[in-house]
Structure 1
Amino acid sequence: MSADWYILIEEDIRDTKHLQAIEFRLHHWKLAAAHRVKGDEARIAAVAEDAALHYLPTTLTRYAKPGDRPARHAFLAQDGSWVVLVGLRGHQCHIRVSTARLMHVHEEKETPPKTLKEMLRGAWEGPPPLEPPWSPPPEAEDQDESAPGTGR
């Protein structure tokens, strides 16, 4: 387990899709930056506030000129994250700045490529069964009630 603290900056990304002559303007969050920060909780909160007050979203960078200072409305949520409305030259978007502790890191692991024999066997026998989807582990009392022979 790791105890590294990070400042996470998420941006509102706009995506326009066309379907049967109808234009859909879709919005979704994208993790734009993750910066490692060392220090105590006060320093981490100060760095998050600084990011909320000075970070320029990539959506607005294409409209920015040197010396421009965008309009900002920064809101501090109860959980300590910042939601910031940023406007520049008639364009507006919003970002979310939060602090998070990195808890687990798992490296990517790829399976080795199949041999010709395994590919032919797979074509003959069909694909292997899929892994069951994740579900929360059962609680102890759920296991006791469903145990066979308990007389319940």
Structure 2
Amino acid sequence: MINDAVPQKEARWVVLVEAETRPGYEENHRWQLVATHAVRDGGREAADKLARKLAMEYVPGEVTVEAGDTPARKVFRVNDGSWLVEGRGIDHKRTLCRVATTELVLK
């Protein structure tokens, strides 16, 4: 059977956000994929720009802040181009998240 439907434009570049599932518990430290952002236009450059924006603004669910406040944060650019973010809320607990530009190679 021939599929003659027009293929949808698929995103080749995707920004992934991972966050700690148990922040502060080093013996049971795990990561979980918490957000996926498909970048349909602009290619790698647009995906890198979105990753930087998310690294600067994303607040992990484990970080507690008062309404209208922003958490204290440190943002690190990693050698591979990804971002590591350390956030601290009103309880001063450290929570980490990673933001990475990725290329979808198989679906």
1:95 is paired with a residue whose SS is: strand
Quick one: which of 6, 23, 43 aligns to 2:46? 43
Tell me which of the two structures has the higher relative contact order, counting C-alpha pairs closer than 8 angstroms and 6 or more residues apart: 2
- Asked if structure 2 preserves the Cα contact closer than 8 Å seen for 1:3 and 1:103, the reply is no
Unaligned runs of 5+ in 1: 16-23, 106-152
**In 1, distance between residues paired with 2:95 and 2:57?**
14
Amino acid in the other structure paired with 2:55 = A
Q: State the partner residue of 1:88.
A: 89
1:122 aligns with: none
Q: Does 1:75 align with 2:76?
A: yes
1:52 counterpart = 2:55:
yes
Corresponding residue for residue 106 of structure 2: 104
2:31 maps to which residue? 29
Letter in 1 for 2:60: P
Residue identity in the other structure for 1:4: R
SS across alignment from 1:58 = coil
Q: Which is helix-richer, 1 or 2?
A: 1
**How many corresponding residue pairs?**
95
Runs of 4+ aligned structure 1 residues displaced above 2 Å come to none
Q: Calculate the aligned-residue CA RMSD, in Å.
A: 2.1
The TM-score with structure 2 as length reference comes to 0.79
TM-score, reference length from structure 1: 0.57
How much has 1:68 moved relative to structure 2?
1.0
